Chain A
Amino acid sequence: MGINRSLKSIATIALMLFAGVAIAQDVVKEPYTANEILTNAMFWTLSGITLILFFIIVILAGAVKNMSDFWKLSKNGFKTIALIAVTVLSADAMAQDAAAATQQITYGGLTSTVFFLFLVVIFVELFIIASLFFILKRLINLNKTEELVEVVHQVSFLDKFNASVAVEDERDILLDHNYDGIKELDNSLPPWWKYGFYFTIVWGIAYLIYFHLGSGPSSEKEYNDEVALAQLQIEEFMKKSANAVDENNVTLASDAGSLDAGKTIYMDNCAACHGRLGEGGVGPNLTDDYWLHGGSINNIFKTIKYGVPEKGMKAWQAELSPSQIRQVASFIKSLYGTNPPNAKEKQGELYKEESSAANETTTEKEAITIDSTAVVTAK
């Protein structure tokens, strides 16, 4: 009969699935000890989802089995199995590619390989579910048009799914309750609901064990790890980049591109306090000969980078990159002597251009390398 055929097809689907999982386990074996895997919350979450979906597939397959007759299923079944097979294979290949590219990134403690393989399995399961729905729908339609007599005795899919008594038979489970005309049925708990509830409870207990008795990270540790990882990545980047400029080695930029970029930064961030023309306002005038914290490119760079918090100049190093600070400092130098209207009175000490670079910058060569990381990692 049809049942045999459909059972076979289900078995094939299940086999394909397990094959997928087996491949997954092969790939991951080395980075984990069994113990680590067992205490990983993400692993359990994903396994849980995988199992739930598998459970749904079994139920759906059962429904299909009940509703189908021999020829119809075998046609549809073949199509589905072929599709699934192709998907599983190609998805596995994709996952392995993805894994190779991003080895270090972890998702909730799992390497991307394991994580993506889980996603693939879940995706495949969802696909199977969708296919089974499609088959069911067609079967229901077929039954309606061709086998009207039989349909009456078929249990509807939803009733099956929820383990409820069919509407036609509900008199059997009608309780003798009557509240202002409202009656109550005594349907049993939908199994997916009940087992879903159990699952969340088990999940909850596992979560608490993992994070509070096991090796789960605290919020503080998560933060420290995140910062440490970022530091490494930044150092890697800075080694290759020309951005390692600081107050000791900064030079005045004079090309139009840099000055334009500097002007944009100035208008966005500085103009509110120092005036759109550098005439000063809340902050001091930037166009005259007098400087509170030194007027050399190095000193201006330093003032912008670290700020003078006690006087209200904030530190910009978290918001502007070193090369941006150089651009805006160079732009500010270019404002010298523009004599804008409404200029603020002079503040600070007279600064002479010539006396600058040579005297003021202490040329501590060794400080340069240390500072280049300080620029970007300061909080």
Chain B
Amino acid sequence: MEIEKFSYDNKIVKMFAYATIIFGLVGMTVGLLVALQLVFPALNFGFEMTSFGRVRPLHTNAVIFAFVGNGIFMGVYYSLQRLCKARMFSDLLSRIHFWGWQLIILSAAITLPLGITTGKEYAELEWPIDIAIALIWVVFGINMFGTILKRRERHLYVAIWFYIATFVTVAVLHIVNSFELPVSFLKSYSIYAGVQDALVQWWYGHNAVAFFLTTPYLGLMYYFMPKAANRPVYSYRLSIIHFWALIFIYIWAGPHHLLYTALPDWAQSLGVVFSVMLIAPSWGGMINGLLTLRGAWDKVREDVVLKFMVVAVTAYGMATFEGPMLSLKNVNAIAHFTDWIIGHVHIGGLGWNGFLTFGILYWLIPRIFKTELYSKKLANWHFWIGTLGIVLYAVPMYWAGFTQSFMWKEFTPEGMIKYPNFLETVTNLIPLYALRATGGTLYLIGAIMMTYNLIKTIQAGNFVANEEAEAPALAAHEEPHKGEHWHRWIERRPVQMLVLSLVLILIGGIVEMVPTFLIKSNIPTISSVKPYTPLELEGRDIYIREGCYTCHSQMVRPFRSETARYGEYSKAGEYVYDHPFQWGSKRTGPDLHRVGGKYPDSWHFNHFLDPTSMSPGSIMPTYPWLFEKTLNTSLTAKKISAMRSLGVPYPEGYEEQAEADLKKQAEQIVDNLKKDKIEIMSDREVIALIAYMQRLGVDIKAQTASK
């Protein structure tokens, strides 16, 4: 067989590695800011662009798509070339992929603080950026598949199975969840409404965890862990079973984010059982990782890279056991909307993704720079400080979650809720929030130490941009071995593997979504629920812009403790005009679905200006700009017609009348405020937001009144 000479492209790996480090530091710093804002609300600074509701999506997008995203590409570009014994398919595509991805991150960093958002968690970016993401993702896919097709290794290693599944599933998730109708260049509405939007969003949101934070990282683990430990992978059979089971089952589990909501019970149950079935496939990855270290535990004591990886895999195992437990309805009843979930995701984020990334960086940078790590001691310090940071982060969050949940649910013997003032359940948690910020600070300090260590390493090393390699060319045709494992068949056929993965991941989504969209009984209509008025619609867009959903839910769950606090529990039929839905996932503040009519307009006015004036001790940011900016009504007519195309029954030609109606309603609110000695112009943004607040959840009351 002829030996071919070629080279690996290390430059693209280096570029992604640098981006990983930089955006890791940025994303964690922004995370620390939002953590501190909950302790010291003054850190919202009273500016639009630094208020919690806008910065929190910046944090989540930065750590998921910028830090972990670049980390994935770094690891994939390094390992894929070596596992395929081939250079990347096209250096040009690699560069387009890199710079395109960084541009997307940059545009996110600009648009999110400006309040340009779709209002769907972890999918906040507006439609032009969504299109850019899809295009760049396809570039990545072509580049990856091109490399796979010109490989010099007959069979695909398990890491590549995970990369393929990641590519195809993320593409499907992103495209389906991003169907939105543009109103202008920077504003769009989700084509789905209410319950359906919620189902699609959490099918996406959950599988963003599955196929962006999990499967690609499992692929990386399968390459870098055996490499770093110099041990064979524990079980090939386990790889096969846990891979296929994982990608098939994961896709079903999304509804566990919507337990005890207006989502139909049958869909909730599917979410529960598939989450529980997910334990073993998830743990398959952990077992295969940890048992690969059999006979190498003495190395773990010495080698900081392995230490990071062991903690990462252990954190993965903890998070993937905790997840199914949180999916049990009775546990979810306690944990949902609380800080428990924040603790849970950070075990995964800080432990699994963060530590595996650090481990890979410590292993990879010295290799591509042909040198030793600058300081093993410093890296060890990083390990311990980081681990302590995770513990200090997670423990207060679990504590806070339990505390708050039990305070929400406690009744006095007379049958009154014991802590009727929601704020009381929040102020209690502030010391825990402070402790969490301490944990986050330690973690960030660790990352800074790593950055210093790696810079020193890079300075001492000599970068090998093109690493020489050689391998025999692949024979045009090779007969399968006698008695080989049946799975070897598909390992020789990347296209079939892609198609099979696609089919498997489509099943769960289709079974859950199609009936929810097509069968009417899943979302019983409520005749008294009417479309929003133009002013309320504009107010709703401000609600979305300010990221209110990051702290407030709009979903009263069917529990006595919630109906006693908020009012009638939420029904599916109430959300049919909500493009997008705004159910939220966290209650740092109270639920708002029944807030309409609960307080006078003047209460809201004062509260937006300074929340502590109406609720002493509140940690909600102030919103002074809502009182200065005039409401932009230039798009109102377009918004009405966009909504009509999405099925909201505004009468034909209502666009013409919309602005007049909007002004009329604004004047009414101004009159109301005047009675309470408050003077304001009717064209201010806050008027629209007040109109939306007062509309929330009231339609159903009209129905009960008429009965």
**A contact set with B: CB distance below 8 Å:** 108, 158, 162, 164, 167, 170, 174-175, 177, 179-190, 193-194, 196-197, 200-201, 203-205, 207-208, 211-212, 218-220, 222-223, 226-227, 230-231, 233-234, 237-238, 241, 243, 268-269, 272-273, 281-283, 309-314, 318-322, 344, 376-377, 379
Contacts and interface: CB of A to CB of B under 8 A. Distances in A.
Contacts of A311: 600
Given A162-B291, A200-B279, A344-B677, 4 more contacts: A182-B223, A220-B558, A223-B559, A223-B560
B276 A234 contact: no
A312 B602 contact: yes
Interface of B: 79, 82-83, 85, 153, 155, 157, 223, 226-227, 232-239, 241, 245, 260, 265-266, 268-270, 272-274, 276-277, 279-281, 283-284, 287, 291, 294-295, 330, 411-417, 420-421, 558-560, 563-565, 567-569, 597-603, 606, 613-616, 676-677
A186 B485 CA distance: 10
Nearest to B153: A179
Contacts of B421: 268-269, 319
Contacts of A179: 83, 153, 155, 157
Contact of B567 (A205, A344, A379): A379
B559 A226 contact: yes
B377 to A, nearest CB: 29
Given A187-B238, A319-B420, A309 B597 contact: yes
Query: Which of A182, A189, A190, A194 has the most B CB atoms < 10 Å from its CB?
Result: A182
A354 B79 CA distance: 90
Nearest to A268: B421
Contacts of B153: 179
Given A201-B277, A230-B415, A376-B416, A184 B233 contact: yes
A182 B226 contact: yes
Classify the secondary structure of B's interface with A.
Answer: helix
B465 to A, nearest CB: 19
A8 B283 CA distance: 35
Contacts of B616: 272
Contact of B603 (A180, A218, A273, A377): A273
A185 B226 CA distance: 12
B115 to A, nearest CB: 28
Contacts of A231: 415
Nearest to B274: A204
Contacts of B568: 379
Nearest to B411: A230
A219 B416 CA distance: 23
A156 to B, nearest CB: 9
Contacts of B223: 180, 182
A244 to B, nearest CB: 10
A183 B599 contact: no
B417 A170 contact: no
Contacts of A223: 558-560, 563, 569
A226 B560 contact: yes
Contacts of A320: 416, 420
A163 to B, nearest CB: 10
Given A162-B291, A207-B272, A185 B233 contact: yes
Contacts of B238: 187, 189-190, 193
Contact of B599 (A189, A226, A268, A312): A312
7 contacts: A177-B157, A187-B238, A203-B273, A272-B616, A313-B600, A318-B565, A379-B568
A187 B235 CA distance: 5
B560 A208 contact: no
A204 B226 contact: no
Contacts of A188: 235, 237
Contacts of A197: 245, 277, 279-281
A320 B415 CA distance: 10
Contact of B237 (A187, A211, A237): A187
A358 to B, nearest CB: 30
A184 B236 contact: yes
B269 A207 contact: yes
Contacts of A319: 416-417, 420-421
Nearest to A228: B560
B265 A218 contact: yes
Given A319-B420, A321-B416, A182 B157 contact: yes
A377 B415 contact: yes
Contacts of A238: 414
Contacts of A309: 597-598
Given A212-B266, A282-B600, A309-B597, A234 B294 contact: no
A219 B265 contact: yes
Contacts of A312: 599-603
B235 A186 contact: yes
A162 B292 CA distance: 13
Nearest to B561: A226
A282 B606 contact: yes
A167 B277 contact: no
